[in-house]
Amino acid sequence: MNDLNHAHPHLESDSGQMSNQSIVKDAVKRAFIKLHPKTMAKNPIMFIVEMGFLITILLSVFPQFFGSTANPWFNPAVSVILLLTVLFANFAEALAEGRGKAQADSLKQTKKGVWANKVTGDGKTKKASSDELRKGDVVIVSQGEMIPGDGEVISGLASVDESAITGESAPVIKEPGGDFSSVTGGTRVVSDSIKVKITSDPGETFLDQMIALVEGAERQKTPNEIALNTVLTSLTIIFLIVVATLPFFTDYLGFHIDPAVLIALLVCLIPTTIGGLLSAIGIAGMDRVTRFNVLAMSGKAVEAAGDINTIILDKTGTITFGNRMASEFVPAGQETLQTVGEYAALCSIHDETPEGRSIIELAKKQSIPFDASAAEDGECIEFKAETRMSGINLPDGTAIRKGAVDAVKKWVIQNGGTVPPDFDRESERISKEGGTPLAVAAGDQLYGLIYLKDTVKPGMRERFEKLRKMGIKTIMCTGDNPLTAATIAKEAGVDDFIAESKPKDKIDVIKREQAEGKLVAMTGDGTNDAPALAQADVGLAMNSGTTAAKEAANMVDLDSDPTKIIEVVSIGKQLLMTRGALTTFSIANDIAKYFAIIPAMFMTAIPQMASLNIMGLASPMSAILSALIFNALIIPLLVPLAIRGVAYKPMNSNALLARNLLMYGLGGVLVPFIGIKLIDMIMQIMV
């Protein structure tokens, strides 16, 4: 599995962006700006901490007015610590936003100064800014010019450099029709000229969406984040009620608790750690997706990827390389390897497809002689879907054909020939081994078969095994016959397959899995994939694909790598796991704070409470300040983990839960005991 912290070369031109001084300086500045109550109110937990800071400021200035009897230095000390707590939380969010802003700035450079040759109603062209273009406008883009907006090629053929968007240096051929007609604004034509029909208005292009996404502005909270925020807010309200009613009980018992101590107790009780990091985790999660060069239409899609149960994958180009290559000549009946190879090569002279070229290469590799000049003077028979054959008619009248086994057999029989007894057996063997058999015939005689093989990409079995450990089922869709499909499925290690698959079959299998309560992901690039991409919970469209596919999906892979769905799932799981791990840690580390601050509050009036001071803290005031200082410092200490994400290893949910409880649950209990004690010792040394 690829390193999920890997940053795409285009999106992260500077190494170690997190330590970039300008980003850190800007984050510090924004941390103070975010102190505005209107901004803080969006985070109820930290808003309460800020209100506590304001109250302790008043206690510092007017202690007697509020009935404060604490040492003169105590209230100011609590104020400073609470202010730092809020600033650290704001800094975490601002730093996550700053990383996205740095990416957005580089992307905005791609948009600047783009002019277009817009086609007018009379067929002429005029210069127009990309901001003036609207959906339906037609522009002509020639060599060296920037494509002004997202669109579809409607005429012409050109090589397009998409490195500004994808980071890949190799140009991509764009042509009208098919799955490679879509172009993205901000890319450059490096050869020839194309006519493009604009498919998006200004502000709605993929580049605009990516800029908005990575900036973090107007980021919509995901359902899981909203649910967790609701739980944390509810806990905060409960603790607020507890602390507010506490003075009534202490007055009844005959002793008084200073207001600053009550505020310190409240801040230590409420889940300030996760409250301060929750927004940063969400922003950083989206940041990791964009750094992986995937444009997610919403945070919901990323989180859904983390909960995926089933992945639908195309065979060709995803699991296999996609180009069937000749690997063997198989003679039939009494024929020899020489004759099969010769006729196969002769009828491939005019075949410019990868498989046609591979047949010529195999004949040369096996030193099989053939008269290329005779074929060059012959009549080329192009492949047609109706005949499912191609070939050549030589000048001497010999007709040679290669193609689908049943089609060539029928052609031979129509010419008065017969089928050798071992022909069908060899054809079935090739299919069972995952290959594609092509029959070779001349006139009324079947000479044998060409063994075409589509190779499974290296490491696919290991990848699918990791997905299986995550509890994710993989289903391969292919147009191959059942025998070939079964062999490839076994070699690749997928859990299930659909042979002779049609677009409707993909939708049916998605609906079937969803009916069982499962979340489904799939990849696609063609218009025929659009319905299934829309039906899937996570649809990953290829940037090189059609506009219909990209509009139907909720994610677009700018690198057009179909296997990236596997990494997207891991990114989603990492996001969910990071949030869960830090929530566990936050709630767990409150335990140590209770043992620090509660005995400190009550041991003066109730000496028996001193037995709960298991950390042996020096004094009640020292215990309260140590707990508050730890509560503040733990936020910036966890910022790198929140932004980088918790390391994810594929395993089943039970093992993952046990691992996180041990690491972040037990760790969250132990670390504060050590931290608070160390702070207390340092305070005693300083005093």
Q: Name the nearest CA neighbour of 177 among 546, 531, 548, 557.
A: 546
Q: Give the neighbor-by-neighbor strand order of the sheet with 294-296.
A: 294-296, 555-557, 538-542, 520-524, 310-314, 473-477, 496-498
Q: Name the nearest CA neighbour of 281 among 93, 103, 94.
A: 93
Which residues line the annotated binding site for ATP?
351, 355, 383-390, 402
Q: Kindly give, in sequence order, each residue whose CB lies less than 8 Å from that of residue 470, ignoring residues fewer than 6 positions away.
A: 569, 573, 650, 651, 652
The 10 Å Cβ neighbour count of residue 113 is: 8
Q: Name the nearest CA neighbour of 288 among 488, 573, 561.
A: 573
* Assigned token pair, 52: 């506590």
Q: Name the nearest CA neighbour of 452 among 323, 335, 360, 341.
A: 323
Q: With contact defined as beta carbons under 8 Å apart, do 133 and 185 qualify?
A: no
CA angle 135, 136, 142 (to 5 degrees): 100
What is the end-to-end Cα distance of the chain in Å, rounded? Answer: 52
Which residues line the annotated binding site?
351, 355, 383-390, 402, 525, 529
From 314, 480, 537, 561, the catalytic residue: 314
CA angle 470, 525, 388 (to 5 degrees): 110
- How far apart are alpha carbons 628 and 612 in whole angstroms? 18
Q: By three-state DSSP, how is residue 594 classified?
A: helix
Q: With contact defined as beta carbons under 8 Å apart, do 584 and 565 qualify?
A: no
8-state DSSP, 418: B
Which residues line the annotated binding site for Mg(2+)?
525, 529
- How far apart are alpha carbons 42 and 36 in whole angstroms? 11
* Assigned token pair, 440: 């070779």
Is 314 an active-site residue? Answer: yes
Active-site residue set = 314
